[in-house]
Amino acid sequence: MDCGCAGCADAARRAAVDGPRTMVTLHGVRRAVVATVGAVALAGAAAGTAAAEPAPAHAGWDGSKYWFRNAAGEWRWTSHATTYEQRTGASAAASPGSGGRSGEPVFRGRQGWDAQDRVYWYKSRGHWYWTSHAWKYQQRTGLSGDTSEPSKPSDPSRPPGASKPSAPSGSSRDWTAPVSSFVYTGYYGQRGSWSKGYHTGQDFAVPTGTTVRSVGPGRVVTAGYGRSYGYEVVIRHPDGRYTQYAHLSRIDVSPGQSVSAGRRIARSGATGRVTGPHLHFEVRTTPYFGSDINPLAYLRGHGVTV
């Protein structure tokens, strides 16, 4: 009775006149509303709302997505040509700006920029995904989104224009994982109630007191308490990247101290905002929260098997 939508409001008015018989209609309306909401939720996997996007210049392909108006005249978008054609009855290949592009991008067996379909390909948990956005590709892989190079790099594991992280003064085999005998828990990029909307690091589940090592040579820039991160250490490496080690129970280094790869810097714990003992490991482009890149991709770029 407290619903203000047009269907329920009309049923409520008729219920006041016709009595219990119309209440059945009202309940039927509510069931229809619930069914509609469920259908919209399912459709959301294929088409997004334009509420947070700027209004497009025209319907059709804009270089990263297809735009169209729904029955209410509101702008909506989708990354899928098939959804665009279903909603509009128009050919995706004939849409303005599409350049004849039709259907889904074709995976051609390599990671990185595909100049033909103008998308980035990357692998996640054994499956290949594509994105039109350089920032998302960099976020998922920790690699550059530069598209200026040819589309067939000599190293298929890296995208065109992406330089492998600089090796320290020693060999890349000197680098190491931050802990041993671990189990992966929270993955980088995992969506959830974190401050940034997704998990900004990689969690290694280990017992409290496990030795935490610097993954490579560098200099300590932070060693202390970091609010939600609990006790943390941040290290700057020769390639300009920063690694963070959080939720520690004990810190064994000080700011300004130089460390070598594999040097013990702390003991793992469960300080700060946690649900259990583990090491939260981040790789950043600055010492600060919000500049994260894919930590496992970074370690693998230095020859670490993780």
68 phi and psi angles, rounded to 5 deg: -155, 160
Is the pLDDT at 164 greater than 70? The verdict is: no
Across 74-78, 176-180, 194-198, least confident range: 194-198
* pLDDT value, residue 50: 40
Name the DSSP letter for residue 174.
G
Report the distance separating Cα 284 and Cα 81, nearest Å.
36
Q: Residue range 206-228: average pLDDT?
A: 93
Which positions ≥6 away from 110 have C-beta within 8 Å? 121, 152, 153, 156
Q: Contact 84/66 with Cβ under 8 angstroms?
A: yes
Q: How confident is the model at residue 156 (pLDDT cuts 50, 70, 90)?
A: very low
Six-digit token string for 130? 């594509």
Name the DSSP letter for residue 175.
-
Of 127 and 30, the one with more pLDDT: 127
Chain segment 241-288, per-residue pLDDT in tens: 999 999 999 999 999 999 999 999 999 999 998 888 999 999 999 999
CB atoms within 10 A of CB 260: 13
Of 126 and 207, the one with more pLDDT: 207
Q: Contact 304/281 with Cβ under 8 angstroms?
A: no
Q: Which of 114, 153, 110 is nearest to 131 (CA)?
A: 114
Of 236 and 46, the one with more pLDDT: 236
* pLDDT value, residue 109: 83
E strands, the chain, in order: 48-49, 60-61, 66-69, 75-78, 112-114, 119-124, 127-131, 183-184, 202-205, 211-213, 218-225, 231-236, 242-251, 258-259, 264-268, 279-284, 292-293
Which positions ≥6 away from 128 have C-beta within 8 Å? 107, 121, 122
Most confident of 136-150, 175-189, 263-277: 263-277
* pLDDT value, residue 305: 86
Q: Quick one: CA torsion of 265, 267, 271, 273, rounded to 10 degrees?
A: 70
Of 170 and 2, the one with more pLDDT: 2
The C-alpha angle with vertex 239 and arms to 153 and 237, in degrees rounded to 5, equals 145
0.85 cut: is pTM over it? no
